[in-house]
Structure 1
């Protein structure tokens, strides 16, 4: 009979060996139950544990070290005692701490040393001011002679790699932590770079996590927190995020423990959050009128009696604030360059359905479509970009990312690059939004992006905008040379009124708008004719019908214009049928991924950009049936949605094919009859 033997963990031996090294380097290491500092202790306590609860995150060893520049680096170490339990990676070579459904993979976090250490490091990214953390895993086993064999995994977890972690190198002991080696180790860590492809993959993964978190958060507030309208929910998230951002050396981030749920007048939880937001905005040097508008809007929700009422020692406001910080904290702290508040808005308003006309107007552009518009408008580091119906500023966020990336690729002087980045955010973007609740989201979005909020204006772009900067250079015209737009459906000419006004205020450049395609086939004839009298239509792109799935089933086109150059009847217009953009969309509330690249989606989007700019020579994936170069009549205004003409005149080849098919059919019939006759004999 076979007796099953259980392999015993040698974790105590591994810990003894490793801690012996740390002691020999005279490092101030702390063991599982000991404290490094209150900030780190609190972060480990507040973050969800390796089993999904809270409060039980205890690395086996932890150290806080400084390099020669006096920068602090938390070191978190996790020990295991089995042969193959160092690290579990996914198919992309990343530490696999999430499941395929984008939920925490507690099995891996519990079982593997590196996975556990990276989990602890994310707790610090989420809940502390540290943005560079070293996660170390170590495990081992005894061979048949009793000799210990160990393996070590050293990973850098930071804001720059979105908390995923990067392997630093191969190590056989911990001597890289020895004070005499630590500076060169950190120098090596700081040279680690993710490839653009790796970063894109991680961003996609993080975006899906944000979607799931927002669904969970909104569901929780919707079901469990009574008396909060949709605007209140949006404002509470905005207020909580601003209050917890902080400004290094100037404004400390608001902690959950700062909210005492007091009933004292002037010291209720809402008062504390308002004071923190005011301190943040004061230090951001946001113009007085904009600051007052933000404070006024948020104060209306934060200081209401019900939300500050204390029950069982806690106000509803503190409870909601805690949920927001716990669920979303890491995503805005690691600085994702995404339309964060657009996702928030879509999720919050998703509960209403879209029965109200005003809400039906606010359908936010998916990020991959926003990026397409930005590229079609030829945005670069020197562009001046505006949007006349900015929504949550998703299009401006996409434009800002494109401008910053272009600047980083082309400016080699760090000092010059820093100045350019500030200029892009403060001077080269302008957005207009009329709905105050959505305007607040746009402001928050641009604050989260490092503050491109300077020139987001809460005015009617058709009636009240005069083309000038809203803040800063208020006497100067904004020199726009790129226009991007997803207009409200109910606007005149389906939104072509925005296009006419914006293009009319530009001297040069390009525009890319996504709009109901009926605006190009009869709903906006007068606007279109006036536009073509001054500007050229370069391309008309038919978009997939389900692009706004779950929000609207409207048919849309993207129209691309060259500004300030009259359209001639012989100008070539590129008509592209982009109904198949390579993505498959679903609309399932609980799905972890409602958007799947099933047919070269990224390549298709790039090909559309290339076709609009360079023409037919760039045809690779698309066929002549999907790409057609034609012309429009500038005096028509209803012929913007053309498709590739189908030649109905039969050719000799068609004739031969038809005759061949007929003869084959006739022979088949004759043979069939012969077989029947033979059977009858």
Structure 2
């Protein structure tokens, strides 16, 4: 006869043999708990619905008290599967019941087990994050794993990361307000955080900083930063990097007011340092920098556009980064590309410490010109396990810089070049050519640039396109989401361009073009643009699989022979998949249009009922291609006029800009101030620089 106690004993004994248990780092309880908070949460968790209930086995990690492992056992495999609300009969139903109660205060790893021998156990794993209503499957293994593996799997789970990252973004707003109240300047805030994180890596600093007076603590912070940065792989840091932190010792509040510096360092340790220790090789400082610049950089005068982390990550996949890659970023910024590369390279090293040392010492090269940013990237790379040894301060075009880079023989290039804002700025393609020239032949260079560059049909950019194809191969171009840089408060349409260095583009070569317009990210108040619904991983996999196989998919991707005179953009070549257009798409468009008319007070009543009762069905054969312009064209295409902010006088005429809201209407202006008949949108379709399309 089946005996559930046998299953309980097998599972408990399995975990008691684990090193974490033997070292006293976990607590295993059976059908009870001494933890008052857990006991309170389970007061109504009976599987029969009548009071308190306990799982068969409950495991707590002493060093990670926010995570609980809950186990429900059944002797027979027929009682393993879920069957909705039969909590006492099925292992999965039972364990998910406990998870629902405990997840109000904990992250819960639920394990459903059935069987009476260790060899025949059937095992299912679920993770329910704190304050969520959904438990989702985790771990593909149909077997028990070591407690270390469970903790590692939990810490590296994508949904857990997203939840923690969103909490970090919320904290960035709080921290920014705190630093603002302490009168720390915007451009110094990320440096301050980086300095605190460097110092917190020192045991002596951690054990003494809470006891110091404000002035003594400020001096200790600076001396610890200098000591830590100067002991990295026996390569001293540039002197003026240390000087970037000197403001801390002279700051009126931080260096004098009791508790101000101590409290903020303590908070950084708790909120940021813990995140970094859990999620290694992630550009956290870059994210804080973006957050702080949302306040300091309202007019984009600093010209800084930081690449979102999920894009730096996919760059490493596009370029097939491995442990032998030598990565060059000639426009380093806060180091996002270098950190993502280091993460992937070290993972590929599979624990080989000698190789990891070599990766950090010889295989990561960055060039940055701006002083504050250079100091930040040095600190950032140190925080992520060094990698800063080959950071070069200077212009990527300088001969001295090129000579240093040449010693390393880089075979992968990444960059997000400064975006041109005036006639005197260097064109984005110049930065790309500079990067390509420094790579080994056949190496891949991946860059993200404004779409306007690849559309160029005259002037400098056209000549640079010609130069690129003369010396290098255009492998692929991906059209990116229109609001990709929303968090940096930059409205620019961008594309990712992939080039093979020092191999002339063949005349009959087909370049791969794809629409990477929807990355699944959503705009959330106080968080910015984030992967709130956990869609990114699946989308990334779809994009990469199609790219690596060079799949041509209607409405998504195409291969095309191009010249320098052509537009290097997917939209120019990809045919619309009319089979995906639904009646609902037209209804949404109509509702938006009617809503726009209501906002403009053209109508005062909106009714749901359509005057025409007949049902309209859409068929693919009803669609065909038309010439937009030319002799038989159906449109006249005109370019709009630019109207600067200081020229806009309030009035009643709707003013259209690059916004997806309110049909592109950002405000209302006085028509008489800017009289130009072609600028008045009567019965026109408008398309802005971010590809938002509206009918007026």
Taking structure 1 as the reference length, what is the TM-score of the superposition?
0.62
Q: Which residue of 2 aligns with 1:555?
A: 493
Counterparts of 1:367-382 in structure 2, within 5 Å, are 367-382=309-324
**2:243 is matched with which residue: 283, 289, 296?**
296
**2:368 is matched with which residue: 433, 449, 474?**
433
Note if contact 1:432-1:460 (Cα within 8 Å) is conserved in structure 2: yes
Distance 1:257 1:275 in 2: 12
Note if contact 1:75-1:136 (Cα within 8 Å) is conserved in structure 2: no
Query: Is there any run of 5+ residues in structure 1 with no aligned partner, and where?
Result: 1-64, 89-110, 126-133, 139-151, 153-162, 171-186, 409-413, 471-475, 649-653, 660-681
**The 10-residue stretch of structure 1 (492-501 or 431-440) with the greater mean CA deviation from structure 2:** 492-501
Counterparts of 1:189-338 in structure 2, within 5 Å, are 189-190=147-148, 192=150, 194-195=152-153, 199-222=157-180, 224-226=181-183, 228-246=184-202, 251-255=203-207, 257-261=209-213, 268-290=216-238, 292-298=239-245, 300-304=246-250, 306-311=252-257, 314=258, 316-338=260-282
Residue 639 of structure 1 and its aligned partner are, at CA, apart by 4.4
Q: Which residue of 1 aligns with 2:503?
A: 565
Distance 2:193 2:38 in 1: 45
Note if contact 1:256-1:318 (Cα within 8 Å) is conserved in structure 2: no
Q: Which residue of 2 aligns with 1:149?
A: none
Matched, 1:611 2:526: no
**2:416 is matched with which residue: 480, 486, 490?**
486
Residue 197 of structure 1 and its aligned partner are, at CA, apart by 10
Matched, 1:595 2:525: no
Q: Which residue of 2 aligns with 1:146?
A: none
Distance 1:320 1:647 in 2: 54
Distance 1:647 1:336 in 2: 42
Tell me: CA distance 1:66–1:528, structure 2 relative to 1, closer, same or farther (3 Å): closer
Note if contact 1:376-1:609 (Cα within 8 Å) is conserved in structure 2: yes
Q: Which residue of 2 aligns with 1:644?
A: 573
Tell me: CA distance 1:231–1:74, structure 2 relative to 1, closer, same or farther (3 Å): farther
Residue 585 of structure 1 and its aligned partner are, at CA, apart by 2.1
Tell me: CA distance 1:277–1:167, structure 2 relative to 1, closer, same or farther (3 Å): farther
SS in 2 for 1:254: helix
Distance 1:303 1:611 in 2: 54
Distance 2:527 2:619 in 1: 54
Matched, 1:422 2:357: yes
Q: Which residue of 2 aligns with 1:40?
A: none
Residue 504 of structure 1 and its aligned partner are, at CA, apart by 1.1
Residue 80 of structure 1 and its aligned partner are, at CA, apart by 4.2
Distance 2:174 2:270 in 1: 12
Counterparts of 1:443-454 in structure 2, within 5 Å, are 443-454=378-389
Tell me: CA distance 1:188–1:538, structure 2 relative to 1, closer, same or farther (3 Å): closer
Q: Which residue of 1 aligns with 2:101?
A: none
SS in 1 for 2:174: helix
Counterparts of 1:525-544 in structure 2, within 5 Å, are 525-544=462-481
Tell me: CA distance 1:402–1:656, structure 2 relative to 1, closer, same or farther (3 Å): closer
Distance 2:509 2:525 in 1: 44
SS in 2 for 1:603: helix
Distance 1:500 1:657 in 2: 46
Note if contact 2:450-2:492 (Cα within 8 Å) is conserved in structure 1: yes
Q: Which has the higher contact order (CA 8 A, sep 6+)?
A: 1
Distance 2:620 2:290 in 1: 56
Q: Which residue of 2 aligns with 1:519?
A: 453
Distance 1:637 1:114 in 2: 66
Residue 75 of structure 1 and its aligned partner are, at CA, apart by 6.9
SS in 1 for 2:572: coil
- Cα deviation 1:180-230 (Å, max 9, x = unaligned): xxxxxxx954465645996333322222222122222112222x213x211
- Cα deviation 1:466-498 (Å, max 9, x = unaligned): 43447xxxxx61211111111111285641111
Note if contact 1:342-1:394 (Cα within 8 Å) is conserved in structure 2: yes
Distance 1:191 1:638 in 2: 50
Q: How many pairs were matched up?
A: 481
Tell me: CA distance 1:445–1:198, structure 2 relative to 1, closer, same or farther (3 Å): closer
Query: Is there any run of 5+ residues in structure 2 with no aligned partner, and where?
Result: 1-18, 44-53, 72-94, 96-105, 114-144, 578-617, 624-696
Distance 2:182 2:525 in 1: 24
Note if contact 2:455-2:567 (Cα within 8 Å) is conserved in structure 1: yes
Counterparts of 1:89-104 in structure 2, within 5 Å, are none
Q: Which residue of 1 aligns with 2:377?
A: 442
Tell me: CA distance 1:646–1:329, structure 2 relative to 1, closer, same or farther (3 Å): closer
Tell me: CA distance 1:304–1:637, structure 2 relative to 1, closer, same or farther (3 Å): farther
- Cα deviation 1:76-109 (Å, max 9, x = unaligned): 9972469965779xxxxxxxxxxxxxxxxxxxxx
Distance 2:527 2:495 in 1: 30
Q: Which residue of 1 aligns with 2:522?
A: 585
